[in-house]
Structure 1
């Protein structure tokens, strides 16, 4: 194949080191933002084709990092998406080199009965940077690639992964099912440093066009042990555990496994305290993101996880829809993770004012990525809101969501009087117990000048006080 672009120059060793740090912590924004700063400051010596190219890479990192963070600011999202699309449209074909064309060729190979047909009009390649069929995408500034079965041995892809362009790859993922598929996995020397397996244990396999009758593996303890003993288990980067795997004791078996390659772990099953303790003892020393949402995690289970000596690199913890309550949140606030987390999801976890007070007094709120702080569907009450209102770290957030949190007039008045709400653009108090006293306090607050959206729907506010809120906030308020 004739290369579309000239071979790129070697990259600056410092740049290569920064890119490697991004790959080692995929859920952490900090290495990427450090990389963006370096590119801006060292654009002329980066080894990239031009200083403008380096600055474009930096701009894409910053834009996509901000887009990846949940927000209610649709105007800002639209602005960022416009910048993102322009950067990708202008630069992505050069950044990809021959990769896009090779994926097009691989994706149009005949299979099934079509292999026996002859065609005189092969499909014509055209570069489409925004096609949903693309198996590459830029994720927070780095390149994420999806491989199909067998493509990890393609010689032309392996040659591309041996080029300097591959340094910008966060990971080349292949989704596998079944122990035998993992054991048979092989890859070329160029691709192997970037190859990451996405593996689900205990999931149901569904038919596809290429695999119309997928083999269903019975989940047994013996099969799980075989999986964990496989040398290729070291290539697993994203691991998901379903009910059948947890039921046969997979968390217990992970304690002695080669699990250092796992960067993201998701549990989609009920997680008992014992299971949580076993997960905490597993050598997940490079885990970047943990998702235990809707697992019925208790306070003891949360305590086992957050006190694990192996989770020192964890930066993202999703734990919504659980029942660990105040005791679990206090354990988190007092754990070493209070100094590492920058993403934390706690909606509907049974926490109350004691847990929120511990959260407000810990380093966590000073570390979490904004713009949103969402504690919805927790009975944190007025005391919890007062603790938040007194926390100086509240100034870091532009959006505060306290839906169905049992907040009444005392809590609303605490927010209205707090100087730490001065940066709020979105304040959501939907479905609480705020009455006229709280509504008047919000209407008269000198600290809510920047609020562009205030929701106090489904509270106890009379028509007269609703008019006072509209007089202050005009169409920015929802009553």
Structure 2
């Protein structure tokens, strides 16, 4: 294969970012043409993505890829470094980038021609009274390639919400991060109820304390949505509101649920007084983060009961219960769970009242898991 073949493969990867075959073909070309480490990195990340998430094999491959990335990051990001503020690799190539809204339109054609970019962190670097408008960014044709948008680093202004919802290039958007932003309640209600972003499956609304009521009202009515990832951490829900949110039909297929709480604030978390076995939508849940939520030892038993109530083994693989004041009784609940029903690859119980002996017991019960105590 010639250099023109290399360029053709790069073009195929950029044009078809979901496909693995062009990536693996380029990995082979690089190995055969004097760039073996770059090719090996691509192969490792592609193979890791093909494994069950969080599994020992996935972690092994990711660790090997990370060693190579630590060694070559500067070289492998040099072509984009002047156009981006942040980056993250996926399946061998830069897929996520941070961009400056003021320069995005000028840099976007070259940026998207260089890498299979699908995820943007949008930033505005300005101290002017009037911030840079995001409308040119939303009107950029390159936005049709974007699947994930992160606005969490924008300042506390609301000028970009209406243009965002009206953007005609985001029909394939799957994930929207609005963490700790002044999301207008009426705007959010209309977004969830409307037809914008028909492919949306992931919402990060953490730290939007003012959205509790509208979430409890809007999500139960959003049957046309199918959310598989939801982060409502640090939102002050009354118990009845969080129950309505989690019982919504649009969350029946949720795979990742994060509801972290400030335990140091002194008040209980929204889920503290509820039966987690019946409140959490367990059917397809793979990731559950209840850090600081005030989950009791009995609550851990409710989690075990909830995962065991399914007719088939639980898909739950990642569980974080850090900073919950748990004791040995919680460990016993987990250790006594049915191995045929519950298999974990990641278990975080840090900042509880536990010891190394408890970690040993948990590791014996979940031998494939990364256990943190």
- TM-score, normalised on structure 2? 0.62
Q: Paired residue for 1:148?
A: 82
- Give 2:272's aligned residue: 352
CA contact 2:189–2:214 (8 Å) conserved in 1: yes
The 1:296–1:411 alpha-carbon spacing in structure 2 relative to 1, beyond 3 Å, is same
Within the alignment, does 1:322 sit opposite 2:247 as a pair?
no
Matched, 1:428 2:349: yes
Structure 1 equivalent of residue 5 of structure 2: 7
Other-structure match for 2:181: 269
1:131 maps to which residue? Answer: 72
By how many angstroms is 1:60 displaced? 2.9
Structure 2 counterparts to residues 177-196 of structure 1, below 5 A? 177-178=101-102, 181-182=103-104, 187=109, 191=113, 194=116
1:200 aligns with 2:200: no
Change (3 A) 1:262 1:216: farther
Alpha-carbon distance in 2 for matches of 1:271, 1:318: 15
Deviations 1:381-439 (A, max 9, x none): 3553232121237865566442343656875654454325874585627436x9xxxx9
RMSD of aligned Cα (Å): 5.4
Alignment equivalent of 1:257, drawn from 167, 185, 203: 167
Shift of the alpha carbon at 1:240? 0.8
Matched, 1:418 2:337: yes
**Displacement of 1:378 after TM fit?**
1.0
- 1:118-157 per-residue CA deviation (whole Å, 9 max, x = no partner) reads xxxxxxxxxxx823424539xxxxxxx846349xxxxxxx
Q: How many residues were matched structurally?
A: 333
Larger Rg: 1
Equivalences for residues 289-368 of structure 1 within 5 A: 289-296=202-209, 298-303=211-216, 304=218, 308=222, 311-312=225-226, 315-324=228-237, 326=239, 327-328=241-242, 330-339=244-253, 341-348=254-261, 350-354=270-274, 356-360=276-280, 362-365=282-285, 368=286
Which SS does the other structure have where 1:285 is aligned? coil
Cα-to-partner distance string for 1:231-290 (whole Å, 9 max, x where unaligned)? 5584583341534333x4x43454433243645432232445434324424712344543
Shift of 1:292: 1.9
Contact 1:182 1:232 in 2 (8 A): no
Equivalents in 1 of 2:4, 2:15: separation in Å? Answer: 24
Q: 1:173, CA displacement in angstroms?
A: 4.7
SS at the partner of 1:357? helix
Kindly indicate whether the alpha-carbon contact (under 8 Å) linking 2:171 and 2:197 is maintained by their aligned counterparts in 1.
yes
State whether structure 2 residue 125 is matched by structure 1 residue 175: no
Please list the CA deviations of residues 326-366 of structure 1 after superposition, one character each: whole Å capped at 9, or x if unmatched. Answer: 43355234332331x4333222152235362345453142x
* Aligned-pair CA distance for 1:308: 4.3
Q: TM-score, normalised by structure 1?
A: 0.51
Contact 1:356 1:387 in 2 (8 A): yes
Task: Label 1:324 to 1:271 Cα distance change in 2 as closer, same or farther (>3 A).
Answer: farther
Alignment partners' CA distance in 2, 1:131 and 1:251: 38
1:59 deviates by 4.3
Return the offset for 1:218: 0.6
Match of 1:218 in 2: 130
Separation of aligned partners in 1, 2:14 and 2:64: 27
Rounded to whole Å, the distance in 2 between the matches of 1:232 and 1:197 is 15
2:2 corresponds to 1:83: no
Q: Could you list the runs of 5+ residues in structure 2 that have no partner in the other structure? A: 33-38, 85-90, 262-268
One of 196, 200, 206 as aligned partner of 1:283: 196
